[in-house]
């Protein structure tokens, strides 16, 4: 595992003192380490290295629709009913039952309500962990019955050092750490996937054009920022959010450079020199764009408005 030492220490202490709660919600960005930490905790409790083969472990996540072959947008009530049925069975190997619900923000309303009974009347030997990118996406009744554990992005040095420990050369590790934006899962994926690294580099070239002093170049860059249409709308929205997050990261690196903290490899060799005010204005514009996208405003119009709202 990379980082989150305070979370590991918290649960190590709770295990030793037998003070674990019956249910937790792990909240944080995608790839920040929620699932990895949950699996570490559950492996420790169930005394196994192979969770999915353990009879006392149940995992729930979005799955493929067998009729369409596409990923379902939600976790269905049928999945939760089946999971809670298995969860209610007597423990087989150890005096613990574990339920992990990944991407709990995708629970349908019916599925979330079906889960409430299990949360309200927990078994004495139960541990339930939900992971979610957002607290707001979960029912208040679920939040009131669970303890929150928040996962924050790691520092640049934590991610870079972890990559170097895995044999990545210093300069490459720093570039990958900058690309990962504090998300260890993202960093490890990029380390192992040359195609993804190339794809990110192409996106970076596009995003760097959004910092051009010429508005026409910024508008052209917008066309390349919009991900290709995919029938899986969740996948398309997720990719758009990822690209906007990379845009925000580059803008933040410009702000740091303007503040005298040194230039990041993400900025490229020919990066324009921005003032603190200019970098701040771009970050403000990106925040407004994220709010518009959440309100389902047209992505193309949103991004054009964004890149035209600041002067360089």
Within-domain flag for 302: yes
Same domain, 119 and 10: yes
CATH of the domain at 44: 3.40.50.300
- Tell me, rounded to whole angstroms, the distance of Cα 113 from its chain centroid: 24
90: in domain: yes
Q: What is the DSSP letter of 56?
A: T
For 190, the token pair is 């990029």
- Residues of the domain holding 247: 193-307
Question: Does residue 282 lie within any of the structural domains?
Answer: yes
The answer on 9 and 146 residing in a single domain is yes
Domain check: are 31 and 112 in the same one? yes
- The answer as to whether 261 is a domain residue is yes
SS3 170: helix
Mean pLDDT, to the nearest integer, of 105-125? 91
pLDDT of residue 119: 94
Residue 87 lies in a domain: yes
Report in angstroms the alpha-carbon separations of 281 from 247, 270, 293.
Answer: 13, 21, 19
pLDDT digits over 122-148, tens only? 777 899 999 999 999 999 999 999 999
Choosing from 84, 116, 150, the residue where a domain stops is: 150
Provide the pLDDT for residue 231: 65
Average the pLDDT over 192-213 and give the result.
Answer: 90
Same domain? For 105 and 211 the reply is: no
Domain's final residue, options 115, 130, 150: 150
* Residue 78 belongs to a domain: yes
| Close Cβ partners of 218 (under 8 Å, ≥ 6 residues apart) | 209, 210, 211, 212, 307, 308
pLDDT per position as a tens digit, 38-94: 999 999 999 999 999 999 999 999 999 888 888 899 999 999 999 999 999 988 887
Is 169 a member of any domain? Answer: no
Do 75 and 128 fall into the same domain? Answer: yes
Longest dimension (CA), the chain: 67
- pTM of the predicted model over 0.85: no
Work out the mean pLDDT of the chain and round it to a whole number: 92
191: three-class secondary structure by DSSP: helix
* pLDDT, position 11: 98
Q: d(Cα 103, Cα 171) in Å, to the nearest integer?
A: 34
On whether both 240 and 146 belong to a single domain, the answer is no
One domain for residues 132 and 220? no
DSSP string, 240-262: HHHHHHHHHHHHHHHHHHHTTS-
Closest CA to 206 of 227, 222, 195, 190: 222
Total domains, the chain: 2
Q: Using CA atoms, how far apart are residues 146 and 238, in angstroms rounded to an integer?
A: 27
Residue finishing a domain among 95, 130, 150 = 150
141 with 19, same domain? yes
Give pLDDT, residue 234.
72
Question: How many helices (H) and strands (E) in the chain?
Answer: 13, 5
229 secondary structure, DSSP code: P
179 domain residue, yes or no: no
145 and 28, same domain (yes or no): yes
Q: Give the Cα separation of 264 and 267 in Å (integer).
A: 6
Say yes or no: 248 and 140 in one domain: no
Residue 136 and residue 213 in one domain: no
Same domain, 198 and 90: no
């Amino acid at each position: 595992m990379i980082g989150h030492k305070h979370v590991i220490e918290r649960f190590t202490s709770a295990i030793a003192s037998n003070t674990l709660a019956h249910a937790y919600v792990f909240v944080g960005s995608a790839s920040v380490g929620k699932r990895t930490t949950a699996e570490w905790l559950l492996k420790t409790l169930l005394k196994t290295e192979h969770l999915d083969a353990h009879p006392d472990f149940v995992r729930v996540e979005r799955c493929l629709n067998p009729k369409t072959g596409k990923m379902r947008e939600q976790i269905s009530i049928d999945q939760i009913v089946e999971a809670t049925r298995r969860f209610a069975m007597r423990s087989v190997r150890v005096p613990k039952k574990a339920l992990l619900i990944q991407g709990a923000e995708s629970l349908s309303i019916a599925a979330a309500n079906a889960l409430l009974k299990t949360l309200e009347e927990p078994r004495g030997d139960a541990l339930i962990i939900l992971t979610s990118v957002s607290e707001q996406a979960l029912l208040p009744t679920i939040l009131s019955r669970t303890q929150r554990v928040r996962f924050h992005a790691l520092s640049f040095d934590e991610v870079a050092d972890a990559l170097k420990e895995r044999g990545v050369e210093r300069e490459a590790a720093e570039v990958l750490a900058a690309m990962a934006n504090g998300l260890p899962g993202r960093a490890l994926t990029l380390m192992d996937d040359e195609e993804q690294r190339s794809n990110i580099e192409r996106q970076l070239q596009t995003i760097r054009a959004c910092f051009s002093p010429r508005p026409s170049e910024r508008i052209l860059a917008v066309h390349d920022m919009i991900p290709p249409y995919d029938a899986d709308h969740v996948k398309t929205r997720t990719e758009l959010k990822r690209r906007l997050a990379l845009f925000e990261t580059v803008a933040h690196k410009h702000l740091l450079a303007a503040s005298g903290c040194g230039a990041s490899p993400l900025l490229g060799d020919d990066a324009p020199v921005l003032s603190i005010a200019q970098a701040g204005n771009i970050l403000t514009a990106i925040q407004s764009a994220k709010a518009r996208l959440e309100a389902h405003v047209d992505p193309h119009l949103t991004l054009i408005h964004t890149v035209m709202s600041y002067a360089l």
